[in-house]
Structure 1
Amino acid sequence: MNYHERDAGAVDLTNCDREPIHIPGAIQPFGFLLALTPGWAIERAANTEAYFGSPARGLIGKSAADIFQPTAVRLLRERIASLRGDDSVERMFSVRLISDQPLFDVAVHMSDRLIILECEPAKGDEIEVSSMVRGMVARLGATEQVGSILREGARQLRMLTGFDRVMVYRFDPDGSGEVVAEALEPGVDSFLGLHFPATDIPQQARALYVRNFFRIIADIDDTSCPIEPVEAMPPLDLSMSLFRAVSPIHIEYLRNMGVRASLSVSIVVDGKFWGLFACHHYSPRLPSFAERSASELFGQMFSLLLGNALREETAAYEDRARKISDRLMAAAAQDVDRLNDAEWIGDLVLEAIPADGVAVSIDGESSLSALTPASDDFHRIIAELKQREISQVFTTARIADIVPNAERFAHKAAGLLAIPISRRPRDYVVLFRAEQLRAVRWAGDQAKNIEYGPNGPRLSPRHSFEEWSNLVRGEAKPFEHHEIRVAEALRTSLLEVVLRLTEAASEERRRAGEQQKLLIAELNHRVRNILALIRALIGQTNRESVSVMDFVGTLDSRVQSLARAHDQLTAEQWGPGHLQDLLTTEASAYLSGEAQRLVIDGPDVTIAPNAFTVMALVFHELVTNAAKYGALSDSGSVHVGWTMDDDGNLAIDWEETGGPAVQAPERRGFGTTIIHDSIPHELGGEARIEYRTAGLRARFVLPGRHVAGIGEGNSNRTENRAQAQDHGALIAGRHVLLLEDSALIALDAEDKLRELGAAEVTLASTNAGAAAALDSGKIQLAMLDFNLGKENSLPTATRLMEERIPFVFASGYGGDDTIPSQFDAIPVILKPYASQQIAQAIAKLDPDNPPTGD
């Protein structure tokens, strides 16, 4: 079955949901596809004539091993063996598949029993793109607030892909969505703040977005290439395909918007489809294979950082909930009647969860406070909750959806949040919110039209995307995710109070144990949120990596090491962790049942939590290096011993023996930096490493304040950022023109200029763009990259001199031989940019007497 064989039955909003988008029977034409049997026979093919000189049908039954070069076959077999799981995809760059043919970028995955190869001509930009991603993720990691992360993500992805519009699209609980951030080409209409109905993204498309994080549509006017033979059954599942042809309904949807090309990157937070990057272009656009792979990787990193920021955003609410829980438990344990007092409970709970009214139902008795339904209506609500056996926190923005005729009291209570406070669905604390009349701005009328075509009636996509609004009645402001989390914590506390008052002592202890486990699990969840450290790892890990995949693998191992360390700390209720447990846990992945190869000798020492994660990274790098190059890579062993010196410091000795000969590393990578510098820099201790031929030896000294939970870290660490700022008085409050042709370098320089005090920074990548900025009459200072690819910045520099606007040059080649002598008086900043260099160069300018070139 393909797109031309859709069901022509009853027409309703599920038509789009039933469209078989995963089996289109065709691919987009910017590459070719081969479907191979396990024996490498070509069973299906598409769009091969331009690359093989043979139509797809002419390749059926032939062996791919006879067509591809032996080196390519070996590489493909290795990557196929690396596939893990149904949704795994391996990518290769610049592979010579066929003699005397150009290089290809290749993606390989499994579809049922078949091996799917998708190949397109290589552009050879994978190294450059890999470097760009590192910079993008590092810049994103420097952003903490959720709103800033969303805006920076849209900005960075647009810089990478070059699309006219990049939107961050967030889903609401009902499946509809809102554009919460965007980055635009000048002149392109903004969609920021507009809502899109849930039906714009059908259910099966949402399922695919969770499996396959990336989707490209290069040109909606392209003719799809059929997968031959078209009569083969069953249809080929292209769920994980990069070339999958586009649904005609979706093409019509994009055409109605005036969009010619689109790109989507999923945003998945904690395993849930949180939203996506939706990119639009008004002419055909196909980013390179490396750029598309980088976009997908960036989306995954963005999802990780966004998830951390969202959890941090809820931390304040959780802290408040814990304080409320303590007060509630202390008071209610002394007087059980307080649980029936809705006003008293409201005074506590409404501090953390805003609501208009509170009602309590315990043992059939009810108490109501502030804006609530009448007593009879409240009893109807409780009866419905009991009938539904609501035993967890339950919320709805429209009570009328669960209780008939609830619209009549919506002005008092339109939405509710119910907190069960008994083991059986019987007793509840219910928060109410009144109706919130509001106008929702939609991207066009949500209505879709039934149209008749050659295949009968079908539901067509919307034709209008101009702003349209409607008034929402009978609905309250929804309770947000962090508020529901607070309610869950309160439920745990309330349930604990009830159990203490109604059950035997043994049952109370059991429930107390469950409560403790719940709190520890929540603590473990929060402690994993070490955003600052992850930022550093992301920004530094790939210095020694040679590919994006190597970067991801190394980063994953280091993050996992941190996670293991935090698991050990939470097992001790975030108390001091055992040094011996830390060592054995890190080494267990490499010992494979040969625990005797790690010899540990020392007293039972525990380390404070703030030092525990640092030591985890140090030992992770030591164990990893020993497994790759040292004693654990052969038949040797590692001896680790520690003692306490007279000053109370912990001295740890690491010695490898019996392994291959050891040589000092030729260059200092990030792992080596961690071993050498982490303990001195982070903890104020010592680290000495000796690369002896017989084996690595190292000695680390941990200050006593980090042992057994004593102390709170190194209070002597300071940062001095004043120096660069002392030189930046000229830039303060000024509107600066930044002429730079590299997007990422421009973004980095913009941030530095703003840090130095610039009030506004206008970016331009060409002299024409700079001229337009100068025409505004607002520019007061400029920084010009001298070399701009196909041109230099002399025209802009000449105009700046004529208009007596002070400026500085920047160059990656030095200024002596490249910048004409007439500009000798202009300070030159050598790349890469540094804040202090910029400030010092600008400080040399005289704003009252700028150079004129005379």
Structure 2
Amino acid sequence: MTQAAPAPALDLSTCDQEPIRTPGSIQPHGFMLTLAPDLAVLQASANLAAWSGMAAEGAIGRPLADVIGAAAAQRLAPELAADRGPHPYYLGTVATANGRHFDVLAHRWDGVTIAEFEAVDRAEPADFRNLYPLIGDFLLKVNEAGSIESLAQLACQHVRSVTGFGRVLVYRFDADGHGHVMAEARDEGYHSYLGQHFPASDIPVQARELYKLSRIRLIQDATYTPAALVPALNPVTGKPNDLSFAALRSVSPVHLQYMRNMNTLASMSVSLVVKGRLWGLISCHNEDAAPVAFEKRTACEQLGQILALCIESREDAAELQFRLEVRRTMVSMLAGLTQGSDFIENLANVFPDLLRFARAAGAAIVVDDRVLTYGDTPEQDDIVALVDWLTLHDHGDVFHTDKLSALYPAGERLVRNASGLLAMPISRIHKHYLLWFRPEWVHTIEWAGNPHAKEPAPGAPTQLSPRTSFAAWRETIHGTSLPWHGGEIELALEFRTALLGIALERAEQMAELAEELGRANKELEAFSYSVSHDLRAPLRHIVGFADLLLESAGGEDAQQRQRFLRNIKEAARLAGKLVDDLLSFSQMGRASLRPTTVDMNDLVAACLDKLALETRGRNIDWDIGPLPTIWADPAFLHLAVFNLLSNAVKFTGQRDPAAIRVHAEDHPHETVFHVADNGAGFNMEYVHKLFGVFQRLHRMEDFAGTGIGLANVRRIVERHNGRVWAQSVQGEGATFSFALPKQNQH
């Protein structure tokens, strides 16, 4: 094993700002040329002379053929002319003029063609036959792997068999950026990191972004001396070259020291990118320097892409199953919330489902000063104080944390049963909250080295460097709960929307009920007044004429007594008619509709037959147009139409001839019927009173009636979800209209 020499002190304070994409140098196991479109050399790596015999400075501006030989240049020229994008592609294996062999990679980036020459011991092109058995065998075994961990283990074994590295592991990044080693394949002499965690600081943010762009990176020997580009600046851009996609790109000195501290001289990383995010890495370590040929790297990169697709598929399936379970619980809850009239009591009745919905140990409903709890929850006073804090610090539609004590000052005493909190306001105006609590989850994390250990300060006897200890270090985590799943948060938002919908529906129902009650009260007041007024008049007549009849009992005027009796009879008949009409109006609101197909031509004809006695001796010109067939309750609709026709007959009593017209109009969503006459009409200023109970626009002495007919018409039409209105010019007649919606028809 090569023992790394002590490295010079490194300043880690600016590690996150290090220009890792523009290092200005390459790893020396090959050389690099940047080329103009005519294949003239723009830049060369400083180690060019060691590989080709020509100094880098002497190559600048010369044709490619002068640097690598005419045969090699002629072989590469057609491939170099093609622009295949930023990712390096394999051009083949060439022999330079001095007889050395190189695998050639090229890509267009940063305004130039970057050509990389990796030294190889063979004259033949790269043999990609390694790719097919590796990928084929992996695909055959994918379906046998029951979990992502077993897939990762399978990938470790296959990559190690291709590269020959001493240790290959797969680790996944968590939400905080820490890496967790979930699978490992290693030689017996290598230390195991399986199950351990690596702190997020081991891979700075900018390095993670580069891992997403360039999916594979090889470091053959961590003790290498970088070879600088000559000249240092890209002639096209005037800036240091962006080598993000270059296979030979030099890496950070900090990372090289990290490798040496880990007793690793060769490493290779394959990115696992799932849905555009860096999910994890396949990380390969070797204690000695080790080259990995391009075709083997390609095989490993392909396997990494397949593993990432398998991970995405498995995670999507698990996510879908999880969301289906949560949604099933939510649907069950929502069904329970519509059962009773008390919304809060309904919520309390589904408490068990509420716990299952959020995988919580306790839940609480807070409605102003009222607190309902279920399961393992904090004390009511603590819940009220927590809600006060939530109200003061507006957290939006849903607030969630798996470490409440880190955010809420009084959270320390709630750690046992409320380390985790999911809370959502049910009202924006009132202090109404739904809360879920998760208890403390005490667990141990095993780190590869103490992530909290402080490095010695500059100037101290021990040199400042990347982590030097990778010994297992255990940390017990207190004060946190199991994390909230993204699906739980999203479905909680959906649940909140559904709750607000139910609450809004209840509010609308209450508003409608209040409006209906208001109308009923007003109607009842008018009804009571009219009943007392209209019923009192015939009763007074009965009493008055009865008294007169008694007073004249001894007289001989038989004709006068007959007149008194006729008046008593007429008053009694009117009183009875009032009672009958009131009963009919009352029934209109209670009886169930029994709709069926109704031919309006037949219905109007039946009404006219019924009116025959009233119209006997009258000169009435009836104009009945063609009428449609509709869907309605025939008995109720017959009463409505009869009332309208009877009304027309009554108010045309002083016309000779009387003209009464019945016709219909067909509209897209409704059918409209009109009953027009040339009678007395009415003042449109009082049209709003027309369809009220006992509302008359004419004196009873002029036009007899109880004032209930049109109220019945309105009630019948509205029971059919229709509408009714009237138009008139006083003294010239009136038109009464009603419309019935077509959606009630078959």
> In 1, distance between residues paired with 2:376 and 2:446?
29
Opposite residue 112 of structure 1, the aligned amino acid is D
Residues 17 and 204, structure 1, Cα contact 8 Å, conserved in 2:
yes
User: What are the superposed Cα offsets for residues 584-633 of structure 1, whole Å, 9 maximum, x if unpaired?
Assistant: xxxxxxxxxxxxxxxxxxxxxxxxxxxxxxxxxxxxxxxxxxxxxxxxxx
Question: Any residues of structure 2 matched to 1:470-619 within 5 Å, and which?
Answer: 470-479=475-484, 483-502=485-504
> In 2, distance between residues paired with 1:209 and 1:336?
57
Residues 215 and 242, structure 1, Cα contact 8 Å, conserved in 2:
yes
Residues 197 and 445, structure 2, Cα contact 8 Å, conserved in 1:
yes
Task: Tell me the residue number matched to 1:158.
Answer: 160
Task: Tell me the residue number matched to 1:113.
Answer: 111
SS at match of 2:42: strand
Shift of 1:312: 1.7
- Aligned length in residues: 490
Task: Tell me the residue number matched to 2:30.
Answer: 31
> In 2, distance between residues paired with 1:394 and 1:266?
33
SS at match of 1:445: coil
Residues 111 and 236, structure 1, Cα contact 8 Å, conserved in 2:
no
Task: Tell me the residue number matched to 1:194.
Answer: 196
> In 2, distance between residues paired with 1:183 and 1:330?
51
Residues 41 and 64, structure 1, Cα contact 8 Å, conserved in 2:
yes
Opposite residue 107 of structure 1, the aligned amino acid is L
Alpha carbons of structure 1 residues 62 and 405: separation in structure 2 relative to 1, 3 Å: farther
Task: Tell me the residue number matched to 1:449.
Answer: 455
Shift of 1:186: 2.0
SS at match of 1:22: coil
Task: Tell me the residue number matched to 1:213.
Answer: 215
> In 2, distance between residues paired with 1:459 and 1:330?
63
Alpha carbons of structure 1 residues 125 and 461: separation in structure 2 relative to 1, 3 Å: same
Alpha carbons of structure 1 residues 191 and 92: separation in structure 2 relative to 1, 3 Å: same
Can you give the 5+ residue segments of structure 1 that lack an aligned partner in the other structure? Answer: 507-854
Alpha carbons of structure 1 residues 330 and 287: separation in structure 2 relative to 1, 3 Å: same
Task: Tell me the residue number matched to 1:350.
Answer: 355
Shift of 1:54: 0.9
Question: Any residues of structure 2 matched to 1:232-247 within 5 Å, and which?
Answer: 234-247=239-252
After TM superposition, the score normalised by the length of structure 1 is 0.53
SS at match of 1:411: helix
> In 2, distance between residues paired with 1:377 and 1:371?
13
Task: Tell me the residue number matched to 1:252.
Answer: 257
Question: Any residues of structure 2 matched to 1:676-687 within 5 Å, and which?
Answer: none
Alpha carbons of structure 1 residues 75 and 336: separation in structure 2 relative to 1, 3 Å: farther
Residues 338 and 344, structure 1, Cα contact 8 Å, conserved in 2:
no
Shift of 1:27: 0.9
Opposite residue 162 of structure 1, the aligned amino acid is G
Shift of 1:345: 4.4
Shift of 1:428: 4.8
Residues 443 and 467, structure 1, Cα contact 8 Å, conserved in 2:
yes
Task: Tell me the residue number matched to 1:601.
Answer: none
Alpha carbons of structure 1 residues 132 and 119: separation in structure 2 relative to 1, 3 Å: farther
Alignment of 1:178 onto 2:180 = yes
Alpha carbons of structure 1 residues 412 and 201: separation in structure 2 relative to 1, 3 Å: same
> In 2, distance between residues paired with 1:373 and 1:227?
65
Alignment of 1:61 onto 2:61 = yes
Opposite residue 308 of structure 2, the aligned amino acid is S
> In 2, distance between residues paired with 1:291 and 1:424?
64
Alignment of 1:76 onto 2:80 = yes
> In 1, distance between residues paired with 2:131 and 2:184?
24
Task: Tell me the residue number matched to 1:135.
Answer: 136
> In 2, distance between residues paired with 1:453 and 1:403?
41
SS at match of 2:113: strand
> In 2, distance between residues paired with 1:45 and 1:335?
81
Residues 340 and 367, structure 1, Cα contact 8 Å, conserved in 2:
no
> Bigger shift: 214-223 or 433-442?
433-442
Alpha carbons of structure 1 residues 504 and 421: separation in structure 2 relative to 1, 3 Å: closer
> Bigger shift: 362-371 or 164-173?
362-371
SS at match of 1:452: coil
Shift of 1:453: 7.3
Opposite residue 77 of structure 1, the aligned amino acid is A
Q: Percent identity?
A: 33
Alpha carbons of structure 1 residues 339 and 119: separation in structure 2 relative to 1, 3 Å: farther
Task: Tell me the residue number matched to 1:222.
Answer: 224
Opposite residue 321 of structure 1, the aligned amino acid is V
> In 2, distance between residues paired with 1:6 and 1:39?
44
Task: Tell me the residue number matched to 1:296.
Answer: 301
> In 2, distance between residues paired with 1:251 and 1:110?
28
Alpha carbons of structure 1 residues 337 and 172: separation in structure 2 relative to 1, 3 Å: farther
> In 1, distance between residues paired with 2:169 and 2:348?
45
Task: Tell me the residue number matched to 1:49.
Answer: 49
User: What are the superposed Cα offsets for residues 814-833 of structure 1, whole Å, 9 maximum, x if unpaired?
Assistant: xxxxxxxxxxxxxxxxxxxx
> In 2, distance between residues paired with 1:22 and 1:268?
19
User: What are the superposed Cα offsets for residues 399-434 of structure 1, whole Å, 9 maximum, x if unpaired?
Assistant: 122222422221221122345667999865332222
Alpha carbons of structure 1 residues 176 and 387: separation in structure 2 relative to 1, 3 Å: farther
Opposite residue 61 of structure 2, the aligned amino acid is G
SS at match of 1:328: helix
Shift of 1:391: 4.1
Alpha carbons of structure 1 residues 159 and 7: separation in structure 2 relative to 1, 3 Å: closer
Residues 21 and 243, structure 2, Cα contact 8 Å, conserved in 1:
yes
Shift of 1:227: 1.5
> In 2, distance between residues paired with 1:238 and 1:425?
58
Task: Quote the RMSD (CA, aligned, Å).
Answer: 3.4
> In 1, distance between residues paired with 2:397 and 2:78?
54
Alpha carbons of structure 1 residues 288 and 7: separation in structure 2 relative to 1, 3 Å: closer
> In 1, distance between residues paired with 2:251 and 2:323?
44
Shift of 1:93: 4.7
> In 2, distance between residues paired with 1:109 and 1:425?
62
> Bigger shift: 180-189 or 379-388?
379-388
Opposite residue 289 of structure 2, the aligned amino acid is P
SS at match of 1:496: helix
Task: Tell me the residue number matched to 2:15.
Answer: 16
Opposite residue 134 of structure 1, the aligned amino acid is I
Alpha carbons of structure 1 residues 139 and 386: separation in structure 2 relative to 1, 3 Å: farther
Shift of 1:327: 1.0
Residues 167 and 184, structure 2, Cα contact 8 Å, conserved in 1:
yes
Shift of 1:325: 2.0
Which one has a bigger Cα radius of gyration? 2
> In 2, distance between residues paired with 1:157 and 1:183?
9
> In 1, distance between residues paired with 2:376 and 2:117?
64
Shift of 1:305: 0.6
> In 2, distance between residues paired with 1:77 and 1:266?
29
> In 1, distance between residues paired with 2:440 and 2:273?
32
Shift of 1:101: 4.5
SS at match of 2:81: helix
> Bigger shift: 64-73 or 283-292?
64-73
Opposite residue 166 of structure 2, the aligned amino acid is D
User: What are the superposed Cα offsets for residues 67-101 of structure 1, whole Å, 9 maximum, x if unpaired?
Assistant: 552341111222x2x31xxxx30311524375675
Residues 36 and 42, structure 1, Cα contact 8 Å, conserved in 2:
yes
Shift of 1:102: 5.1
Candidates 255, 264, 278, aligned match of 2:283: 278
Task: Tell me the residue number matched to 1:96.
Answer: 94
SS at match of 2:418: coil
Shift of 1:265: 1.0
Residues 273 and 279, structure 2, Cα contact 8 Å, conserved in 1:
yes
Opposite residue 140 of structure 2, the aligned amino acid is R
Task: Tell me the residue number matched to 1:697.
Answer: none
Residues 393 and 484, structure 1, Cα contact 8 Å, conserved in 2:
no
> In 2, distance between residues paired with 1:49 and 1:21?
26
Opposite residue 466 of structure 1, the aligned amino acid is A
Shift of 1:248: 1.6
Alpha carbons of structure 1 residues 32 and 170: separation in structure 2 relative to 1, 3 Å: same
Shift of 1:128: 1.2
After TM superposition, the score normalised by the length of structure 2 is 0.60
> In 2, distance between residues paired with 1:282 and 1:425?
65
